[in-house]
Structure 1
Amino acid sequence: MGRHKPKKKRKGLKIFLIVLLVLVAGIVAYGYSIYHNLSKAANAVHSPIDRTPEVNRPSDLELSKKEPFSVLMLGVDEREGDKGRSDTMIVITVNPKSQSMEMLSIPRDTRVEIVGNGTVEKINHAYARGGVEMSMNTVEKFLDIPIDYYVKMNMEGFQEIVDAVGGVTVKNDLDFTQDGHHFAVGELNLDGKEALSYSRMRKNDARGDFGRQMRQRQVIQGVINKGANISALWKYDDVLKALSKNVETNISFDEMKSIQKNYADARHNLEQIQIEGSGATIDGLWYYVVPDEERVKVQNKLKEHLELK
């Protein structure tokens, strides 16, 4: 009887190895499927832009060397027959050494020089005048920092992205109702429609555009956190479809992989920056006017985070 035991052990080990091999093969195949679909989606949203920057870097950005970079996020309401305006303009700087991100919302009524158009008007007009290129150049000149990348998002389709990641969690500090949705004070779990309404409200907030910007940043951070969570892998197909339909960016798939590899931890330390100014009516139009000293203060903070000083 004793002589048969090793054979049984070997047979048990063989079965175990076969089962393990099947599982590994399945995981590898699933991983390849994810990789293939990620690559396909990245190529679908990739939209390179050829422009002459207003602010140049001392040398070309190298993500492999973990150099800090910047992104301009444009939330655009595009309607049929109308190019639309970028009602949401957020600059994000990412520094992997300090493992931190800084997020600056630029009020859409901010009075600036529209670079390439020869006018001084509201900053959200830059997109209507000259699309992504004019928006990037205008923001570069306003903040005096290089804008390395852009991400343009269709705000109407943003709710699809929120739903694809399974909703977002926010901490609301103001009781209000918007588009038939009631938002109580406290921690809220929002689906796509609710998140879009939550991030759009400004008329019933004494903080005006700043309150709206804060809510937008909360929703964006919620999407980033959910998208980076391992559970999102099981919903990746829905996420990729939503992104493919509603997002454009000049970040290539290889650059996305480098960012995921070298910069992912920065999302855990996000500082939100506010640029101070005041309202003024000029030539019959209302503007948000930022004093030069405030603009320089914000410029210096962003330059320091980008290690440009």
Structure 2
Amino acid sequence: MDLSLSSSEKREDQIQEITYRRKLWWEIPLGIVLGLVIVTGGFLFYKTFAATKKVITENVGGSAPAFLDKVEPRELRGEGDGRINILLLGVGGEGHSGSFLTDTIMVMSIDPKTKKVAMLSIPRDFYLYVPKEGYNRINTMYYAGEKNKVNGGGLAMSKKVVSDLLDINIHYATMIDFTGFKDIVDTLGGVTINVDKNLVDTTYPTPSGGYQTLRVKKGVQNMNGEAALKYSRSRHSTSDFDRAARQQKVIMAIKEKAFKMETILNPTKVAGLIDALGNHLKTDIQLWEIQRLVEISRDIDTSKIVSKVINGEEGLVTTTSINGMSVVVPKTGDYSEIRKFAHELFVDSFLTDENATVEVLNGSSNKNAVKKVSSLLKSYNYNIKNTANAETLNYTRTIIYDNTKGKKPYTLEFLKKRLVKLGMNPEIKKDSSYDSEIVIVIGSDYKGK
């Protein structure tokens, strides 16, 4: 393998950026590690978790409803709750300055019915409200949970912050550090990657705060833990989309190596994997849930995993300065477009399977009500067939007319909870004279502009 690192002299105008660049050294490609544990069928790692219970902490939020054999509509807290949503966090770990800043933040979402997987990365400099800390970069959330000793610690705090941002329930969280990933790959004896194009990164960070040039040649390459980490996390000469594709390659390479019989039957390698995870990973996924994930993952086609990034290329965010700090903020000034993007990615099959036709009518004096509500519901995958004014604009309370005789229970439950989130107090009635399966008449209890 041709993976050479040549030191480059620091430029004087980069000295002030050293602290920022050091953070990049800790950026962990967690899609690789969690893809290994969850997506690829993880027999070895089920054994690892079973033998290393110290990595598993209590899940204060409870299990994902989708793990149940039969999910009742009332058990789902909203659109997307019919999936299994896992927050993946990367930190520098002990021995690094800012060791618990979550500089890699990714949501992996699994639909257990369709066996489809989607991943969404969140920029670490995203600026928002962090409980107990105030407004700050999102990468402070894990540290805030640990420092303030909240119930569930940094994992629970991180789940809350990301859940509020995306408007999707986050069921689980897993945190791994830089050393853990490298140890896993090295214990497996390295991985084989088919590099599809030359990679040159002239600003790859060094541990001391300097810069090096990373070169990876096109072709089949054998990589140890450090090389695989560098290949999968380099981004300054490419894009986040390129990096996501490289992470997919590494996931598959680890899977192929881990499931060879010489690995599974090698007690030394199994022991090494246990050590690597036990010392460098925390999760609130319980053992029985890991077993269910293993069962689900057997039918997942890893070549069809969808990976997206919240970035400027998607038209979602922009970079600015607040109090002298470079941060990422939503272009629209609120989270509406980001939430729409997330819900379009994490489609809830409980909702799409019913595919109920929905009509939205304005029964209030708010002229923008129908446009605002119907647009939001469309982005959350509701099948909106018609919008108009109701026969009167004197509705004081929002009404949901159910013409399905209860045959679309998930849609009705999701709609009721969604409208409550919008500040309405909807009442469900069983029949109406309208043609659509479900009709929403917006009343004056909707206060949106």
Residue 205 (structure 1) aligned with residue 244 (structure 2): no
Q: For 1:111 and 1:217, locate their aligned partners in 2 and report how far apart those are by CA, in whole Å.
A: 28
Q: Which residue of 1 aligns with 2:385?
A: none
Q: For 2:342 and 2:309, locate their aligned partners in 1 and report how far apart those are by CA, in whole Å.
A: 12
Residue 62 (structure 1) aligned with residue 67 (structure 2): yes
What is the CA-CA distance between 1:280 and the residue it aligns to?
Answer: 1.4
CA-based RMSD of the aligned residues comes to 3.3
Residue 141 (structure 1) aligned with residue 164 (structure 2): yes
1:1-309 → structure 2 map (5 Å cutoff): 38=48, 40-50=50-60, 60-64=65-69, 68-80=83-95, 83-114=99-130, 116-117=131-132, 119-130=134-145, 131-168=154-191, 169=193, 171=195, 173-176=197-200, 178=204, 182-202=215-235, 204-205=236-237, 207=239, 215-216=246-247, 218-220=249-251, 222-224=253-255, 226-227=257-258, 232-234=263-265, 235-268=269-302, 269-276=304-311, 277-291=317-331, 292-305=335-348, 307=350
**Gaps in structure 2 of 5+ consecutive residues:** 1-43, 72-81, 146-153, 207-211, 312-316, 352-413, 415-449
Q: For 2:69 and 2:189, locate their aligned partners in 1 and report how far apart those are by CA, in whole Å.
A: 32
The answer to which of 136-145 and 215-224 deviates more is 215-224
What is the CA-CA distance between 1:94 and the residue it aligns to?
Answer: 0.6
Between Structure 1 and Structure 2, which shows a larger proportion of helix residues?
1
Q: For 2:165 and 2:271, locate their aligned partners in 1 and report how far apart those are by CA, in whole Å.
A: 38
What is the CA-CA distance between 1:266 and the residue it aligns to?
Answer: 1.9
| 2:165–2:339 Cα contact (<8 Å) kept | no
What is the CA-CA distance between 1:40 and the residue it aligns to?
Answer: 3.8
Q: For 1:217 and 1:35, locate their aligned partners in 2 and report how far apart those are by CA, in whole Å.
A: 19
**Identical positions, percent:** 27
| 2:244–2:307 Cα contact (<8 Å) kept | no
| 1:278–1:288 Cα contact (<8 Å) kept | yes
| 1:42–1:252 Cα contact (<8 Å) kept | no
**Gaps in structure 1 of 5+ consecutive residues:** 1-33
What is the CA-CA distance between 1:95 and the residue it aligns to?
Answer: 1.2
| 1:86–1:127 Cα contact (<8 Å) kept | yes
Q: For residue 139 of structure 2, what is the amino acid of its counterpart?
A: N
Q: For 1:253 and 1:72, locate their aligned partners in 2 and report how far apart those are by CA, in whole Å.
A: 17
TM-score w.r.t. the length of structure 1 is 0.73
Q: For residue 164 of structure 1, what is the amino acid of its counterpart?
A: T
SS of the residue corresponding to residue 293 of structure 2 reads helix
What is the CA-CA distance between 1:85 and the residue it aligns to?
Answer: 0.6
TM-score w.r.t. the length of structure 2 is 0.52
Q: For 2:49 and 2:163, locate their aligned partners in 1 and report how far apart those are by CA, in whole Å.
A: 30
| 2:90–2:105 Cα contact (<8 Å) kept | yes
What is the CA-CA distance between 1:140 and the residue it aligns to?
Answer: 0.6
Inter-CA distance 107–232: structure 2 relative to 1 (3 Å threshold): farther
CA deviation profile, 1:144-182 (whole Å, cap 9, x unmatched): 111111111011221001222343326454522546653
Inter-CA distance 228–298: structure 2 relative to 1 (3 Å threshold): farther
Q: For residue 264 of structure 2, what is the amino acid of its counterpart?
A: L
SS of the residue corresponding to residue 321 of structure 2 reads strand
What is the CA-CA distance between 1:305 and the residue it aligns to?
Answer: 4.2
Q: Which residue of 2 aligns with 1:30?
A: none
The answer to which of 184-193 and 226-235 deviates more is 226-235
Q: For residue 118 of structure 2, what is the amino acid of its counterpart?
A: E
Q: For 1:44 and 1:266, locate their aligned partners in 2 and report how far apart those are by CA, in whole Å.
A: 28
Q: For 2:294 and 2:133, locate their aligned partners in 1 and report how far apart those are by CA, in whole Å.
A: 39
Inter-CA distance 121–39: structure 2 relative to 1 (3 Å threshold): closer
Inter-CA distance 198–148: structure 2 relative to 1 (3 Å threshold): same
| 2:263–2:270 Cα contact (<8 Å) kept | yes
SS of the residue corresponding to residue 265 of structure 1 reads coil
SS of the residue corresponding to residue 124 of structure 2 reads coil
Q: For 2:136 and 2:241, locate their aligned partners in 1 and report how far apart those are by CA, in whole Å.
A: 19
Q: For residue 128 of structure 1, what is the amino acid of its counterpart?
A: Y
